Amino acid sequence: MNADVVIIGCGPAGLQAGIHSSRKKAGTVILGKIRDSALYGAHVENYFGIPEKTNGPELLKNGLDMALSFGCRHMDKDVTAASKDGDGFRITIESGEEIICKAVVIATGISRMRLDIPGEKEFLGRGVSYCAECDCNFYKGLGVAVIGGGSKAAVAAELMTRYASAVYWVSDGISADGTLADKAAEAGAEIVAGKPKEIRGGGNVASLLLEGGREIDLDGVFIELGGRSSSDLAMDLDVMPETDDSIKVNERCETSAAGVFACGDVTGEPWQLAKAVGQGAVAGLNAAGRAKGMK
């Protein structure tokens, strides 16, 4: 298959890139699964023009419908390989099919580091979150746990003390900078030594069970183990990720490799919908412009 632009990722950044690329009459293919987007299990209440709290799946479906209406093609497949192909690129998907294109937009987001315990997946968006900064406002006056021993967990624990009625910082070994750890403790986060075993609840999270038998009643669990992007894919396209695995871009969302663009969470923090959509528009426009300008 041939295309002008291939967009890898089906979250808000990738979908917005697809909308703008296809509107410029570039043959555009979006690759990826909506359910893998970090927005899929989230609620949104701070996005311009949407006064009421809305949910991620609805926004993603509407975004995909818009992209398709402008002529964009969507393939519900993951990318398994990518490489240079002359002046363009060769993208291989899990079915084995290959797509030859003139420009690539990396909008993969980041892969959240998970606990892989019972209840984690089941309660995503119903009390389980991977971003305290994104979802802190939903837990005013409620009890929460922050899981992780690193600096991200320390920052999240301190932040949540400003919103939640009780904050349990759960870790089987704190490795965070001492200053950050002290700040979280001084702010009121209770440090709990232990390893999570199961997240329990009914319709929403109700408690966290630790190895050893202790069970903590609470309303939310923030898993703050850090995150990583699809750095291997970036390197296949001759883009060297930063030390935190994010991809550096300029104001045109161009990476260090000609013809490769990136947008959204994969470019680093802040991990916010508004930023993802804005960068998606920029990346889509410029990728289409490059592709249409090539003979």
If we measure between CA atoms, which residue out of 226, 147, 219 comes closest to residue 189? 147
- The type of residue at 174 is I
Contact 279, 264 (CB under 8 A): yes
Contacts (Cβ under 8 Å, ≥6 apart) of 49: none
Query: In the numeric block, which tokens belong to residue 161?
Result: 């003390």
Residue 227 confidence (pLDDT) above 60: no
Q: How far apart are CA 254 and CA 249, in angstroms?
A: 5
Residue bearing the bigger pLDDT, 82 or 54: 82
Fold match flag (5-112+227-293 vs 128-223): yes
Percent of the chain with pLDDT over 90: 68
Taking residues 219-247, report their average pLDDT.
82
pLDDT confidence band for 229 (50 / 70 / 90): very low
Q: What is the pLDDT of residues 91-107, one digit of tens each?
A: 998 888 999 999 999 99
Average pLDDT, stretch 82-97?
91
Predicted local confidence at residue 230, as pLDDT: 66
Q: What is the mean pLDDT of the chain?
A: 92
Q: 115 and 271 in contact (C-beta within 8 Å)?
A: no
> Mean of the pLDDT values across residues 227-249?
81
- CATH of span 5-112+227-293: 3.50.50.60
Tokens of 34: 């909506």
CATH superfamily of 128-223: FAD/NAD(P)-binding domain (3.50.50.60)
User: For residue 118, is the peptide bond before it cis, meaning its omega torsion is within 30 degrees of 0?
Assistant: no
Question: Span 162-168, mean pLDDT?
Answer: 97
Q: Where are the domains of the chain?
A: 5-112+227-293, 128-223
- Report pLDDT for 201: 97
